[in-house]
């Protein structure tokens, strides 16, 4: 069941941050999956003034197969947009390492770390092709954390993130562990996501639009600003 909340564009970040801050007050040791990219930036900005992360564990949703230090990497974005601004750093931050010698073992390590306690709250953005993390269209509903080939528009997105180089692959928490989160919040803003939001919420439930698979889960909240909700049937 999806709880759809449509919020005026200007108050979208603070509405999410208000609820998130309340959630952290109730559960200070929350285990969370967090995304990067442009969508969460204003929410992170608002949250960084509030703090509340000192006892949390954070799993970074995905990572590009880029050299360490590239500003387009998800670890660099999380550091820049959230972690470096917090008054106190989270107790634990887990990230996938695309430089690991054995990438399969790295993915298994991550799934094990998630399984040891589960994910209490997963924040997700989504792409204009409906991907969740780097689970591109066609991903299995029970896919594990793994190395993936990126869709062309995901590769093009790297430029928006200020990457120095490019890549055709990444690593992502799989749909299996993600959809097993106790609670999921999908963050959607801007008119450029309006068509895919309508397909995700009102089109067929299908791996061809991974975000539509959220409709098979309990406790999903979609936080859409009015621009993103403007094409909803
Ligand atoms: P964006 O990307 O937040 O930068 O739009 C989200 C995504 O592609 O998953």
Residue 1 has pLDDT above 90, yes or no: no
Residue 113 has pLDDT above 90, yes or no: yes
* Catalytically active residues, by annotation: 62, 129, 131, 136
- End-to-end alpha-carbon separation of the chain, Å? 17
Say if ligand 1 is within 6 A of residue 130 CB: no
Say if ligand 1 is within 6 A of residue 39 CB: yes
Q: Are 133 and 62 in contact (CB under 8 A)?
A: yes
Ligand 1 centroid, distance to 77 Cα (angstroms): 12
Nearest to 133 by CA among 77, 64, 70, 202: 64
Contacts 24+ apart (CB under 8 A), 19-23: 20/47, 21/47, 21/50, 21/52, 23/121
Regarding pTM above 0.85, the answer is yes
CA distance linking residue 38 with residue 88, whole number of Å: 23
User: Of 33, 38, 39, which is best to mutate to test ligand 1, by the most ligand atoms within 8 angstroms of its C-beta?
Assistant: 39
Q: What percent of the chain is predicted at pLDDT more than 70?
A: 100
How many separate helices (H) and strands (E) can be counted in the chain?
7, 10
Q: What is the mean pLDDT of residues 78-98?
A: 98
């Amino acid at each position: 069941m999806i709880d759809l909340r449509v919020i005026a564009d200007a108050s979208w970040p603070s509405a999410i941050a208000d609820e998130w801050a309340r959630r952290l007050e109730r559960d200070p040791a929350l285990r969370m999956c967090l995304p990067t990219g442009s969508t969460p930036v204003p929410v992170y900005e608002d949250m960084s003034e509030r703090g509340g992360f000192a006892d949390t564990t954070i799993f970074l949703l995905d990572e590009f197969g880029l050299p360490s230090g590239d500003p387009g990497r998800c670890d660099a974005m999380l550091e820049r947009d959230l972690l470096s601004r917090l008054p106190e750093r989270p107790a634990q931050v887990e990230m996938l390492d695309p430089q690991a010698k054995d990438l399969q073992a790295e993915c298994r390590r991550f799934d094990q770390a998630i399984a040891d306690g589960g994910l209490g709250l997963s924040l997700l953005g989504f792409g204009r092709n409906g991907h969740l993390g780097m689970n591109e269209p066609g991903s299995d509903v029970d896919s594990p954390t793994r190395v993936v080939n990126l869709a062309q528009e995901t590769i093009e997105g790297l430029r928006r993130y200020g990457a120095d180089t490019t890549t055709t692959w990444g690593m992502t928490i799989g749909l299996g562990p993600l959809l097993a989160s106790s609670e999921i919040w999908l963050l959607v803003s801007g008119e450029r996501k309006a068509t895919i939001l309508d397909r995700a919420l009102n089109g067929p439930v299908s791996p061809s639009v991974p975000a539509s698979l959220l409709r098979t889960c309990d406790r999903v909240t979609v936080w859409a600003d009015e621009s993103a909700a403007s094409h909803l049937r």
